[in-house]
Amino acid sequence: MVTGAAGGIGSAISHRLAEEGRRLILVDMAPDLARVATELETSTMVRPVQADLTTEEGVQAVRSEVQELGSLELVVNNAGITRDARLANLSGENFDLVLDVNLGVPLRLIESLHPLMEAGAIVNISSRAYLGNFGQYNYSMSKGGLVGLTRAYALRLAPRIRVNAIAPGLIGTEMTKAIPAEVREKMVAAIPMQRMGTPEEVAALVSYLAAASYITGEVITIGGGRSLSR
């Protein structure tokens, strides 16, 4: 089960898991979900669920799909949003919204779905911003909260289910294309690897953690060395 499956990283994760022959439940609010599902239908069984996971009905829709399929081995909490502003200008509405989508949804999903898993893995897509990122107090808190959630569930659900987090840095998606070119070039220049990461590189890490039978409670940064450079 992959949330945010219609986005850049979510779509790449879905493609990667389909190539591995996994049956997929793909979840997103965006109508573009149908396109991703159609792309994958030739290679595996896909069940798209267009739902708002901030609602109880949305979470229940996913749970119902899992119950129909009969088993669940992997949960990828990938859906996320940004509403950036400096702390002084950050509204309560945008604080609540970002935390609800990025943190509340994974919490509610895991609580709802883990009883249906006999074994397997949960991968939470956090962000390198959990280390701190200018203008992202709300986003940084939400992704930092995911780290705590990951550790606590790793301890609670072991040895039945492994729980890990991935903290991507700057990844080339439609979202990063929206950044003005000058700003993007400066951001890339600060990355030791001298380029943005690709959604496929994040997807490969998800695939690795899905199968990594002795790794749990870890946060793995995929940021081209940006966590070290000035």
Partner 1 sequence: MVFVADPNVADNWNEIREELAEAFSMTKDAATRGEPIVYIVRGDDLLGRDGIGAAIVATALLSGARTASLELRESAINTLAIEKESSLEAISTWVGHLLAGGPRGELVRLGGNHLGKALP
Q: According to the binding rule CB under 8 A, does residue 87 interact with partner 1?
A: yes
CA angle 58, 3, 83 (to 5 degrees): 90
Location of structure tokens 């890990």: 164
Least distance CB 37 / partner 1 (angstroms): 29
Q: According to the binding rule CB under 8 A, does residue 154 interact with partner 1?
A: yes
What the block records as the tokens of 123 is 């991968």
Active site residue 214: no
Q: According to the binding rule CB under 8 A, does residue 56 interact with partner 1?
A: no
Least distance CB 129 / partner 1 (angstroms): 7
36: exposed, middle or buried (Cβ count in 10 Å: 0-12, 13-18, 19+):
buried
Q: According to the binding rule CB under 8 A, does residue 140 interact with partner 1?
A: yes
Nearest-angstrom CA–CA distance, 45 and 47 = 7
Q: According to the binding rule CB under 8 A, does residue 92 interact with partner 1?
A: yes
Q: According to the binding rule CB under 8 A, does residue 36 interact with partner 1?
A: no
Minimal CA–CA distance to 52: which of 112, 105, 123, 107? 105
What the block records as the tokens of 136 is 């992202």
Least distance CB 191 / partner 1 (angstroms): 18
DSSP code, position 87? G
State the DSSP H helix or E strand holding residue 27, giving kind and residue range, or none if neither. Answer: strand 24-28
CA angle 20, 21, 23 (to 5 degrees): 125
Q: According to the binding rule CB under 8 A, does residue 134 interact with partner 1?
A: yes
- Name the one range near partner 1 by CB under 8 A: 4-12, 26-34, 75-83, 153-161: 153-161
Nearest-angstrom CA–CA distance, 76 and 12 = 12
Among 19, 20, 41, 96, which residue interacts with partner 1 (rule: CB under 8 A)?
96
Whose Cβ is closer to partner 1: residue 8's or residue 145's?
Answer: 145
Q: According to the binding rule CB under 8 A, does residue 149 interact with partner 1?
A: yes
Least distance CB 141 / partner 1 (angstroms): 4
Whose Cβ is closer to partner 1: residue 150's or residue 207's?
Answer: 150
Backbone angles phi, psi at 188, to 5 degrees: -65, -35
The residues carrying an active-site annotation are: 139
Instruction: Kindly list the residues in this chain that would bind partner 1 in the complex (CB under 8 A).
Output: 86-88, 90, 92, 95-96, 99-100, 103-104, 107-108, 111, 129-138, 140-156, 217-218
